[in-house]
A = this chain, B = another copy of it.
Amino acid sequence: MSKIIDGKALAKSLRQDIKSAVNEIKSEYNYTPALAVVLVGENPASKVYVNSKAKQTVECGMESFEFKLPADTSEQDVLAKVEELNNDPKVHGILVQLPLPKHINEEKIINAIAVEKDVDGFQIINSGQLATGTGSPLIACTPYGCLMMLQDKYGKDLSGLNAVVIGRSNIVGKPMAQLLLDANATITIVHSRTKNIEEITKQADIVVAAVGRPEMVKASWIKQGATIIDVGINRIEVDGKGKLVGDVDFADVEPVAGAITPVPGGVGPMTIAVLLHNSIVASCRQNNKPVPKILDRYNRF
């Protein structure tokens, strides 16, 4: 059995299940789930990402609404756009692509998104519900995708496993730790101010690396047989050529690991698939319909 956790394959099978769910929704519930993406400005990486999202949304049979606003759009106008989408019953999920231009307060924009349409899971009530285990929050796509990969391997219950999350961002590290805790893992968060990171990761059954430092995690940090989830996507130069690498030194760590995600082809493909998953869930809730059963296996509990 390969050690490689094939995120590309898992994302593909999630997208196929989403496609089936969309067909069921269209024929049984008589609406088409729709995701609206708002892009402000010309950040090249954001443009690529927004285009991928739109493409996959449509491929799954959903509707995709894209709003590309100029870089000098005022905060007020972005808020007005969000408000318009909040009030549009044809739109079930809203994603405002980050980062936003500097004159716009990101926190303000994110928190203006209606909680039930916040498919990125960054809005404050969704964050609060995740943090407190209350309600039914929409959950940040990248950590949720990581959890799906782990639960695909271990089952839903991670009791007795020691998980170490490297990094404490709101986008990955903190919600990841929360999801692992909810799944009954013992969790540790290490970060730039931690003195003995290697000693701590060395005891982990699961390591999730999300710091944005190319190939930081080495074999000496890892216990034999541990599962490694690499969230990092870093562009480095090798012999004058651009190359994508994770936060984990794959060649070094792979022989020690029990299972490991590659970069690219690991966590990355899961993120957009989970975004579509969240959009389906959001659309069903807004229409007071049950989520199609084919998606049950992706539930956290």
Q: Give per-residue flags for A115-132: 1 if the beta carbon is below 8 A from chain B beta carbons, else 0.
A: 000000000111111111
Interface residues of A in 130-172 (CB under 8 A from B): 130-135, 159-160, 162, 168, 170
Are B186 and A190 in contact (CB-based, < 8 A)? yes
CB neighbours of A196 from chain B (8 A): 162
Q: CA of A200 to CA of B185 in the docked complex: distance in angstroms?
A: 13
Q: Give per-residue flags for A182-221: 1 if the beta carbon is below 8 A from chain B beta carbons, else 0.
A: 0010111111011110001000000000000000000000
Contact partner, A186, options B130, B132, B134, B188, Cβ 8 Å: B188
**Extra pairs beyond A124-B128, A127-B128, A128-B129 (11, CB < 8 Å):** A124-B125, A124-B132, A125-B128, A132-B170, A160-B195, A168-B181, A174-B181, A186-B188, A186-B191, A188-B188, A188-B189
A-B contact pairs, 8 of them (CB 8 A): A107-B134, A124-B129, A125-B125, A132-B174, A160-B193, A162-B200, A181-B189, A188-B189
Interface centre among A131, A132, A168, A187 (most CB of B within 10 A): A132
Interface residues on A, range: 20 to 34
Interface residues of A in 247-292 (CB under 8 A from B): none
Oligomer: number of copies: 2
Query: Top 8 A-B pairs ranked by shortest CB distance?
Result: A128-B128, A131-B131, A124-B128, A159-B193, A127-B128, A188-B188, A184-B193, A186-B194
CB neighbours of A174 from chain B (8 A): 131-132, 181
A residues near B (Cβ < 8 Å) are: 107, 124-135, 159-160, 162, 168, 170, 174, 178, 181, 184, 186-191, 193-196, 200
Interface centre among A159, A186, A189, A196 (most CB of B within 10 A): A186
CB neighbours of A129 from chain B (8 A): 124, 128
A170 CB, min distance to chain B CBs, angstroms: 5
Interface centre among A124, A135, A160 (most CB of B within 10 A): A124
Are B189 and A187 in contact (CB-based, < 8 A)? yes
Q: CA of A190 to CA of B181 in the docked complex: distance in angstroms?
A: 9
Q: CA of A132 to CA of B160 in the docked complex: distance in angstroms?
A: 27
Contact partner, A132, options B127, B191, B200, Cβ 8 Å: B127
Q: CA of A166 to CA of B124 in the docked complex: distance in angstroms?
A: 26
Q: CA of A196 to CA of B130 in the docked complex: distance in angstroms?
A: 26
